[in-house]
Amino acid sequence: MGHTIAEKILLAHSDNRKIAPGEFIEAKVDLALGNDITAPLAIAEFKRAGAKKVFDRKRIVLVPDHFTPAKDLKSANQAKILAEFAREQRIENYFEIGSMGIEHALLPERGMVLPGDLVIGADSHTCTYGALGSFATGVGSTDLARSFIDGKCWFKVPPTIKFVYRGKLNKWVGGKDLILYTIGKIGVDGALYKVMEFSGEAISKLDMDSRLSISNMAIEAGARAGIIAPDEVTIRYIKAARRDQGQKNWLTDKRIRHWKSLASDPDARFEKTYNWDVSGLTPQVACPHLPSNVKPVEKIKNVRLDQVVIGSCTNGRINDLRIAAGLLRGKKAKKGLKLIVIPATQKIYRQALKEGLAQIFIKAGGVFSTPTCGPCLGGHCGILTAGEVALATTNRNFIGRMGNPKSFVYLSGPAVAAASSITGRITHPQEVS
């Protein structure tokens, strides 16, 4: 019996000679990630265990991104804990304001995650890196603390569900629409403690920004990981990212020399396979209060908006901003509507300035923020009050997710968000293009 991509990666990182879904294994991790909410808890446990030194200062990543720039005294203290631990342990991959970004956009951008890697992070959207052909999953802060000590973590091997997307995508339809459509079909528990493996013609045609959006939201269907087999698109992206960091000889890295073998075997065992023709798919919108409450945008009528947020680890990348700016160029956001645009990293921020995208957003009446998770988790920079309605390119729309429990959040891709900011209601992009 052959293996899925996920099983191959887990097997390669453990001492097991064979592997099957349901088994518990101990595996070595390539990267261990924490942020300003979760890492302080892990650091406290690390010290409580009596540990003096991290297992590898090059393979721990600390990113204060959720409440930064600090919004209050508590968030300032959280960030301080990270900074002091990074100094104390001489951790190389600590990213402060000015060099940071939202963690799940920052790590791929810097070429830190490679095909075949095993990555854990004390944040549920760590599954984003599966778009690069890695097994990446969220863990608790105590698991992260253990990995700080010896670079290992326990895993229950998950079964894999395969998703095959056939057909050519229509204009205005991208990775965010595919994953919203998928979650709408299977539900928020449709892949509970399973791997979602995304494949097919429609996936192979997507750029990496769209692929990262898809894997990012695998957790919204309950999945442990969302994986796309690496291909030439993946390799070009990683080459460019690592070249930007001055790492020119990346192909000599033994971890990724055999990236072509990172595909599920023909006789691999899948728990289930979904096969969909998405050539007729239109932009999708998740309605309150679940990411699975999905409808095509044309079926949503007269939903008036108080706020539109374009950004987050799901859709704050440069191509997302280009799509939004393309629709907003020469236009104005609806009077009375708050348009908030948040690039996901400092590099994306600079690129948006260079290309004139930031100017377009500002001229449209919006604000252009420094990188932060901000309103996505009800942190800051766009909190909703009772009765307010927002459309966001973020990944969750649970009750109270963006502020008051009596507010309402809809989810979409950047095209629908930008178009809707112009009309002041949820709108198909073709209406304003």
Task: Give the end of a domain, one of 233, 261, 277.
Answer: 277
Q: In 206-331, which ranges are continuous DSSP H helix?
A: 208-216, 232-244, 312-315, 318-328
118 and 161 assigned to the same domain: yes
Which stretches of 17-164 are DSSP H helices? 39-48, 73-89, 103-109, 141-150
Identify whether residues 256 and 136 lie together within a single domain: yes
Counting every residue written for the chain, the total comes to 433
Nearest to 334 by CA among 422, 396, 239: 422
User: Do 261 and 317 have their domain in common?
Assistant: no
Q: Which of 243, 277, 311 delimits the end of a domain?
A: 277
Check residues 264 and 243 and name the one with the higher pLDDT. 264
As to burial, measured by CB atoms within 10 angstroms (0-12 exposed, 13-18 middle, 19+ buried), residue 267 is exposed
Q: Within this chain, do residues 228 and 291 fall inside the same structural domain, yes or no?
A: no
Q: In terms of domains, do 381 and 402 share one? A: yes
pLDDT value, residue 243: 83
Domain that holds residue 410: 284-431
pLDDT of residue 357: 98
- Smallest CA-to-CA distance from 105 within 224, 216, 205 is with 216
Q: pTM (2 decimals)?
A: 0.94
Name the band, by pLDDT with cuts 50, 70 and 90, for residue 252.
low
Q: Which CATH number covers residue 104?
A: 3.30.499.10
pLDDT band at 203, cuts 50/70/90? very high
255-261: average pLDDT: 67
One domain for residues 149 and 294: no
- Specify the pLDDT at position 15: 93
Mean pLDDT estimate for the chain: 94
Taking Cα atoms as reference points, which of 295, 319, 328 lies closest to residue 397? 295
**Burial bucket for residue 404 (CB in 10 Å: 0-12, 13-18, 19+):** middle
Q: Are 139 and 121 in contact (CB under 8 A)?
A: yes
Structural domains counted in the chain: 2
| Beta-bridge mates of residue 34 | 62
Last residue of a domain, which of 220, 246, 277? 277
213 and 321 share one domain:
no
Contact 183, 218 (CB under 8 A): no
pLDDT surpassing 80 at residue 254: no
Quickly state the pLDDT bin for 383 (edges 50, 70, 90): very high
Do 258 and 324 belong to one domain? no
Mean pLDDT, residues 315-342 = 97
Query: Is pLDDT at 192 greater than 80 in this prediction?
Result: yes
Q: How confident is the model at residue 296 (pLDDT cuts 50, 70, 90)?
A: very high
Average the pLDDT over each of 67-71, 305-309, 337-341, 404-408 and give the range with the smallest value: 67-71
Q: Does residue 358 register a pLDDT over 60?
A: yes
* Cis preceding-peptide flag for 289 (omega within 30 of 0): yes
Average pLDDT over residues 160-174: 96
User: Measured between alpha carbons, how far is residue 154 from residues 23, 142, 222 in Å?
Assistant: 10, 12, 19
Query: Three-state SS for 39?
Result: helix
Transcribe 255-277 into DSSP letters.
Answer: TTTTGGG-S--TTB--SEEEEEE
253 and 292 fall within a common domain: no
d(CA 27, CA 16): 9
Answer yes or no: are the C-beta atoms of 256 and 250 closer than 8 Å.
yes
Same domain, 270 and 300: no
Give strand ranges (E) for 60-209: 60-63, 93-94, 118-121, 135-138, 152-156, 160-166, 195-199
Res. 174 pLDDT band, cuts 50 70 90: very high
- List CB contacts of 206: < 8 A, sequence separation 6 or more: 174, 175, 214, 233
Do 205 and 324 belong to one domain?
Answer: no
Percentage of the residues of the chain whose pLDDT score is greater than 90: 87
Judge if 242 and 318 occupy the same domain: no
Peptide bond into 343 cis (omega under 30): no
**Average of per-residue pLDDT across 408-420:** 98
Q: What is the pLDDT of residue 191?
A: 97
